[in-house]
Every structure is written in C-alpha cells, then in structure tokens.
Structure 1
Amino acid sequence: MNDAHEARSGALPHSGTPGRTPADLDTEHTTLTDAYRLCRRIAAAHGRTYYSATRLLSADRRPAVHALYAFARTVDDIVDTPAAYGSREALAALDAIEYRLRHAWTLTRADRPAPPPTALPAEFDAVARALTDTVDRFAIDPRHFWTFLDSMRMDIPESPLFRNRYPTMPALHEYMRGSAAAIGLQLLPVLGTVGPVADAEPAAAALGNAFQLTNFLRDLGEDLDRDRIYLPTTELAAFGVDEDLLAHCRRTGRTERRVRRALAHLIAVNRDLYRRAAPGTALLNPRVRPAIRTAATLYAAILDRIEDSGYTVFARRAVVPAHQRIRLAAGAAFRA
C-alpha cells in the first residue's frame, strides 16, 4: 500500500501525491479535512456508543476511526434502505464501491471489468477520500474491506451470497467474519500494538463479533421487520422459539417467556465473547487501551439494559442513557 501512496487515481487524490503545486496541495488538504469532518459527523450522529469511545483516542488516530465507521455506515445504509436501493441497485452500488476502491488503492482494474454507472450516496466521494487516506497512513490490509463487502452482499436478496437466516452459531460467525471481525481487523493498525499485529488479531476479531452480536440482540424486532433473523435458529429452537413466536412478539410488543429464556442464553454467549476479547487490550498501544475498554464497557452495558427492561426488544430499542454512558466511560477509562 505504501508504494501506491505516491500515485493516486484522479477520483481519490491524496495530499501526498507528487508533482502538484503548493496551491493544489492546499486545496487537497482542505478537501481531505472536510472529508474527515463529514466522517466525524456521521459517527457522532449514528454511532453514539462508538463515538463516545473514540473521544478518548489521540487526535491523530481519532479521524481514522471516524473514516472507518463512516465507510461501514455508508455501505450499511445502501443495504438497509430499500426505499432508496432495490436489491439489484444495492448490489450494483457495492460492486461500484469495490471497483473504485480497488482501482484507487492498487492503481489497476483488479482484473475485472468496470461496472456500469451506478448512483452512489452523495457522501461517498468524501468518505472514500478519508478512507483512502486512512488505509494509506496506517497500512490497513485492503482484504478486510473486500471481506466486509462480501458480508454485506449476504444481506441482499438477489445476491448469490444472500442469507437471511442462520441455523447455527458457526454459520452466524461466517457472516460476522465480514460484518464484524473484519471491522476489528481494520481498526487494529490504527490503534497500534505493542507486538506483532498478528498476535492481537484474534482478540480484535472476537471484540468485533461481540459488538455485532449485541447489535443483533438489541435489534431483533427491527431485523424481523426486514425479514432477517440473525440469532441462530437452532439455539432459539432449543428454548421452544420459532419464527411464528418471534413474529407474534413483534406484533404485540411483548416478549414471551420462552423468548426471554433464549435471549438470556444468548446474552450469556455474548458476554463470553467480551471476556475472550478482554485480554487483547493488553496487546494494544497503551494510549488506546482506555478507549477500547470504554467501547467494550459501553456496548456490554446494552446487554444490561436489555435484561433490566425485561427483554423488551420487540417494543423498544435498548439504549444506555447519556449519564450512564459518561459514568461507565469514566470508570473504564481509568481502570488499571
């Protein structure tokens, strides 16, 4: 990636591109700064827990994390906004995004023909500019982004990869390999490690999976509205829970006893993921450890809120109140 740093494509210029005048560089710098500002706004608006934790990072790392979040959010919105994108349009948009990033990052067409012109979100160019700068500066392996995009294709009905039910936890982990673990692996070079990056990768992937499973538990009702069940159906069935029962709970807004037991079990599984990821914090740069502990603490607190509400995930979204986020963040940040 560092070799490509010296020559960007015209679509995604980089402020370090040689052969430009000082005026050109000033214009590019302003554009890149604005791109990062947009990414920060996206992170602040849509990822409150995530954004709260990033505020503990150093100023040089924080924008990169915002860029990674904004990219993931932009792609996720394409997949999850049927009013704006039908299945074919969403697939075409993902293909166009992958093509443009491969072309910008490798200066080749990646042995694939250019996809037909496709409308992308208005913010994509700015987000891609910040993302490209982040990938360059921190030498992030592009493969993690292709894995992520393949996972997003699994959410699109007309994709050959499409799945909207996951029978077992291993099957769900295959989806989360791209939707969650890949995000953790993208972040790792930004956060920095005290030893080889490879040593910290299993814990980073586990933490990404822990965050994702928390989302699935919190958003069970909303996902049902989109005809998706991300919780393993065989594990639900062990408690007498099937799709009809879940649909009934969504219609009534009431969580039936068997569903409560199933959710309690899966919350225990989720907490085990957080425990398995926790030792990885010691492998990170000491300066970023408070932020990662804070992110894990705040996300795990969503599970507490689900339990405290009586598992009312069909009626309302579990949210950690602002005052509690501040208290938990402070405790996690200063924990030894």
Structure 2
Amino acid sequence: MNDMRPQQAIPVAEVASGKGKQDENFPVGSLLLDRRHRPHVHAYYGFARAIDDIADNSLLSPEAKVARLDAMEAAVLGRFGGEAASAGELAHAVRLRASLALTGVPATTATDLIVAFRRDAVQPRTPDWDDLLLYCRYSANPVGRYLLALHGESEATAPASDALCTALQVLNHLQDCADDLATLDRCYIPQDWLAQAGLDETALRASAAGPALRRILDRLLDEVDALNRLAATLPGQVVDRRMRLEAAVIVGLSHRLATRLRREDPLAGRVKLRRNDVAGSLLGAARAWRR
C-alpha cells in the first residue's frame, strides 16, 4: 500500500456487489459525468459496495464484521492492520486510496461510510428520527460530498447535497423495509414512532401496510419532502455543467420515488422507479444543462 504513487492511473473498476441492478435506484458512474472522473467514481463505489457487503454478510458475526471494516479503514488510510479483510476487499481500499491521492478528495468521504456500516453490524434498530438522521449523515451524505469535491465544487453545496443524500437513503429504507427485517433482521423505521402508534416491527412482516403503519410511512415521506425541497436548490449551486445535470436528474428521481411511495405499498412489493420516471427526470434536468 505504501508503494502507491499519485501518478498511477486508476483503472475503471466494475462495481462488486451481492445486490442486483434491480436494487439500484440511481446509476453508478453515470455517463452524464465527465469521462475523466468516471474511473474515480467507480473506485469509490467499488469500495462502498465492498464495505456494504461486509456489513450485510449473514455468515459473519458482528465482531468479525467490525474487524473487517476496521481493516478496510486502515487500508484506505495507508496504515497497517488490514489482515482481517480479504484480498479482494483490500483491493478496493487500495484502489480508492490511490484515487484519493490523485484527486485530493478527503479520505473522510470514505471513512465516514465505515462509521455507518460499523453501526449496521452492531445496532440493528433505529430508536428515533434523530438517530436515523445521524445514520444518514455517515451512510449517505459522504457520497454526495465525494462527488462534489471530485468536481471541485464549493463546500457551500453541502447542505443541499446532504439533504438530497439523506432523502435518498430514507427512501431506500422505505423501499426495503420489509426485506431488511426479513433478511438482515434490521429495521430503520424509528422505534418510537412505531410505539406511539401501538405497533412494533412485526407490522412490517404483513403482506400489506395497515392504516397505522401507512401513517408512519407517510410521516417519513413528509420528512423526505422537506429534504427534497432543500435538495432542489442543489443544481443551481453546482458550477460544473455535467455535474449540475447529474444533480438535477437525481433530484427529479428523488421526488418521483417519493411520489411513488405515497401511492404504492412497499410491503406488497418493492416500489421502484420506472422508465417514464427516468425520462421525465432527464427532461426536467435539461433546463439545468442549458443554464
């Protein structure tokens, strides 16, 4: 790891994942981004997927997950102590470390993600809304900050970017609320909201959301709507035209997914974006491209 030289080229990496494309709402290394940035974006997302897969690995104990995540952090920071992770996992960390050296993007955009995945390993429940926001602070917001830093954007974009990334994370939790509980024994719905409604997480095991649970889902969507209103200001703050278009498309998709989750039941089946959602978001974002 200490032999990595800043002038080395970073190859385009395939994003390793145990999840299929049907689980992704938004494109990784989108063709909307400048070609010169895409290898770095792939390196970042490859690392993010690798540590996500560690946290979701049902064959590992919580302690083993934390040890592997600690090893990934050591590797991306160029430190010793990476023995607990596999060679394949460490390759993602080494690749990202070289990429960060080339681009000057802060390593915290990677290590903050590890904070969230350590939490996933040891804390399968979310006590309240503030705790969910804190989780999103580490699990989602670093992604937006990474992309903006890679494009040389001002730190003034952070509030709107954070709002967008948090909204996307909450929407993803809503999409997967039943599956997360069934397959990972993990629940991101605030436990105090469930208790106030006289429910517990077993409500998520039903084939359809009852009225009380539907109100909780809508309450989460109310919070998402507020985040999306702030997120809508992001494209206008971004200087790089291609990154502005990317941001505008994702803002549009976030709004459209929130609308779908209002109308559809995530317990009855995974609520997903459709082709017309993508087409509509692209058309809406065209205005940002022409600015």
What TM-score range do you get, normalising by the shorter chain? 0.7 to 0.9
The reply to whether residue 190 of structure 1 matches residue 155 of structure 2 is no
Q: Matched residues, percent identical?
A: 27
- Displacement of 1:229 in angstroms is 1.6
The reply to whether residue 233 of structure 1 matches residue 188 of structure 2 is no
Q: Deviations over 1:80-137 (max 9, x none)?
A: 0213x3322211111111111112xxxxx4xxxx437224262541x33442243123
The reply to whether residue 117 of structure 1 matches residue 83 of structure 2 is yes
SS of aligned partner of 2:77:
helix
Distance 1:242 1:48, change over 3 A: closer
Q: What are the residue-to-residue correspondences of 1:140-219 with 2, within 5 Å?
A: 140-157=105-122, 163-193=123-153, 197-219=154-176
The aligned counterpart of 1:257 is: 211
The aligned counterpart of 2:48 is: 72
SS of aligned partner of 1:94:
helix
Q: Deviations over 1:287-317 (max 9, x none)?
A: 11111111222233222332332x2x22321
The whole-number CA distance in structure 2 between the counterparts of 1:176 and 1:154 is 11
Q: What are the residue-to-residue correspondences of 1:32-111 with 2, within 5 Å?
A: 32-33=10-11, 36-39=12-15, 45=21, 48-51=24-27, 54-83=30-59, 85-103=60-78, 109=79
The whole-number CA distance in structure 1 between the counterparts of 2:152 and 2:277 is 25
The aligned counterpart of 1:319 is: 272
1:292 is matched with which residue: 229, 247, 260? 247
**Contact 2:17/2:50 (8 A) holds in 1:** no
Q: Which runs of 5+ in 2 are unaligned?
A: none
Superposed structure 1 runs of 4+ greater than 6 Å apart: 40-44
TM-score after normalising by structure 1: 0.76
SS of aligned partner of 1:141:
coil
Q: How many residues align?
A: 286
The whole-number CA distance in structure 2 between the counterparts of 1:95 and 1:78 is 11
The whole-number CA distance in structure 2 between the counterparts of 1:41 and 1:166 is 25
**Contact 2:26/2:250 (8 A) holds in 1:** yes
Q: Which runs of 5+ in 1 are unaligned?
A: 1-7, 17-27, 104-108, 158-162
Distance 1:128 1:53, change over 3 A: closer
Distance 1:241 1:307, change over 3 A: same
- Displacement of 1:256 in angstroms is 0.9
**Contact 1:53/1:329 (8 A) holds in 2:** no
TM-score after normalising by structure 2: 0.87
Distance 1:55 1:49, change over 3 A: farther
**Contact 1:254/1:314 (8 A) holds in 2:** yes
Q: Deviations over 1:130-172 (max 9, x none)?
A: 4224312331111232222112111113xxxxx2222221121
- Displacement of 1:15 in angstroms is 6.0
The whole-number CA distance in structure 2 between the counterparts of 1:116 and 1:74 is 14
The whole-number CA distance in structure 1 between the counterparts of 2:281 and 2:260 is 16
SS of aligned partner of 2:202:
helix
Distance 1:40 1:318, change over 3 A: same
The reply to whether residue 303 of structure 1 matches residue 230 of structure 2 is no
SS of aligned partner of 1:320:
coil
SS of aligned partner of 1:54:
coil
**Contact 1:43/1:50 (8 A) holds in 2:** no
The whole-number CA distance in structure 2 between the counterparts of 1:192 and 1:324 is 32
The reply to whether residue 243 of structure 1 matches residue 197 of structure 2 is no
SS of aligned partner of 1:289:
helix
